[in-house]
Amino acid sequence: MEKKRTATAPPADGAALRYVTLKVRLYPTAEQAALFEKTFGCCRYIWNRMLADQQRFYIETGAHFIPTPAKYKKEAPFLKEVDNQALIQEHNRLSQAFRMFFKSPGSFGHPNFKRKKDGRDSFTACNREFQSGPTVYTTRSGIRMTKAGIVPAKFHRRPQNGWRLKRITVEKTPTGKYFCYILYACEVKGPEPVIPTAETTVGLKYSVSHFYVADSGAMADPPHWLGKSQEKLAKIQQQLSRMQPGSRNYRRAVQKYRLLHEHIANQRRDFIHKESSRIAKDWDAVCMRADNLEEMIGGLPHGGSPGLGHGMFRECLRYKLERQGKQLILIDRYTPTTRTCSTCGQVREAVHYREKTWRCPECGAVHRREINAAKNIKTQGLAWFFRNGEQPESA
C-alpha cells in the first residue's frame, strides 16, 4: 500500500524560517555499527560510479548527465541493504558540486573520486512525513533511523516545541566515534533591527598572539592548546617513528595521536563559541576587516601559528549577531588600518609586523599597532554603515 505524504504549512506572516542543528553522540550496537560502515561504503561506491559514468558520458556526447542511484541496484544488489535516502543524497551532493563548479570554476574545483583512506565517513538521510509517522524521529534515549532502528544516543540539548526534523547526518570521526547532526526547521519572529552607535560598537583586529585585539585594548588570550599539548604530541610522534607501521602498538599510538588532536579541536571550538556568544550579547555591532585568512597566516614567518580558528570565529559572530538583529560590519580588506593614525588620519608608508608601537610623524601620537588598527576598523565600519547601510562588495 502506498504511503501518503503529509504537507507542511508555510511560515506564518512576519515569521522567518530558521534552521538549527543539534549534534549528539551515538552509541550504536555492533549490528548498527556494521550497517553504518556498509552505508559509508555504499555512498562512496555510488558517488564514484556516478562520477565515472558522468565523465564517460561527457567524453562520448559532450553533454552533462548524472545517472540516478536506481540504475546501479541491479548490478550491485548490496545497495538495497542500506537506506535509499543516503544514496539519493549522494546524487544530490554530486549534482550540487557540479553546479558550483560550472558556476565558478576558479573557486570550486571539479568533483573528485572518494577514497576509503581519506577518512571522511558520513551519510545523510532526509526525514519523510507519512500518515503512519515520520521515517526519522528522536526518542527518550536514541534516534530512530531507517534500516538501523533506534540507535542509542546521548543528548545534551532537546528540540523545542514546534521544531520540525528535516534530516540527519551520521558521521564517524578518525578516532572511531559516531556522531549525528540533526537539522531542525523552526519558525521564529524576525528580530527588530538594532542601530549601532559608537558606544555600542566594538572594532576587532585579528591577532596571532592574542587571537583578537579590541579597540578598547581588550585582548582575548585563549589557552594555547597546541602549545600545552606539544610535548605529548612530540612524544607520540617519537614513538611512532620507532614502531613498525601496522603493528598493534603502532595502531594504539596512532589512536592516541588522533584523540589528542580531537581534544585540541574541541577546546578550540568551545573557546570560539563562548567568546563569540559573549561579544554578540554585549555589543550591538562588531566591525572587522574582510581579510583573506589563508593569505594572512601564510604571509607570516614559518606560515604563522596553525589552528587559530579565525574563520570559524567570524562565522559564529555573523549568525549570532544576525539572530539578534545586530550587525557584523566587514570593511574592505585593503584598508590600511595598521598604517593609519587613529588620531589625525595620517597614513604611513609601512609598518613592520614586529613593530609593536609607533609614533605618528604628523601629530606625534604614540600608538600600539594592533589597538590602533582596531580603532580604525571601528571608525571605517561605522562610517560605511551610516553612509550605505549595507556591506561593501569586497566583504
Closest-CA residue to 213 (of 27, 49, 46, 374) = 374
Higher pLDDT, 225 or 328: 328
User: Residue 338: what pLDDT?
Assistant: 85
Which stretch of 110-119, 279-288, 316-325 has the lowest confidence by average pLDDT? Answer: 110-119
What average pLDDT does this structure show over 266-285? 92
| Partner residues linked to 274 by β-bridges | none
Q: What is the largest CA-CA distance in the chain?
A: 84
Tell me the pLDDT of the chain averaged across its residues. Answer: 86
User: Residue 227: what pLDDT?
Assistant: 67
Residue 303 has pLDDT above 80, yes or no: no
Closest-CA residue to 203 (of 91, 335, 72, 85) = 335
Q: H or E element: which one contains 55?
A: helix 30-61
pLDDT band at 302 (very low <50, low <70, confident <90, very high): very low
Q: Which are the contacts of 20, defined by CB distance < 8 A and separation ≥ 6?
A: 159, 163, 183, 184, 186
User: Residue 226: what pLDDT?
Assistant: 63
What average pLDDT does this structure show over 353-361? 79
Residue 305 has pLDDT above 50, yes or no: no
User: Residue 10: what pLDDT?
Assistant: 55
SS3 category, 104? coil
pTM summary value: 0.82
User: Residue 337: what pLDDT?
Assistant: 87
| Partner residues linked to 94 by β-bridges | none
Higher pLDDT, 306 or 190: 190
SS3 category, 6? coil
CA atoms within 13 A on the CB side of 104: 3
User: Residue 95: what pLDDT?
Assistant: 95
pLDDT band at 4 (very low <50, low <70, confident <90, very high): very low
Give pLDDT tens digits for 232-270.
888 888 888 889 888 988 999 999 999 988 888 888 889
Report strand pairing: 327-331 vs 285-289.
parallel
What average pLDDT does this structure show over 307-313? 81
pLDDT band at 150 (very low <50, low <70, confident <90, very high): very high
pLDDT band at 89 (very low <50, low <70, confident <90, very high): very high
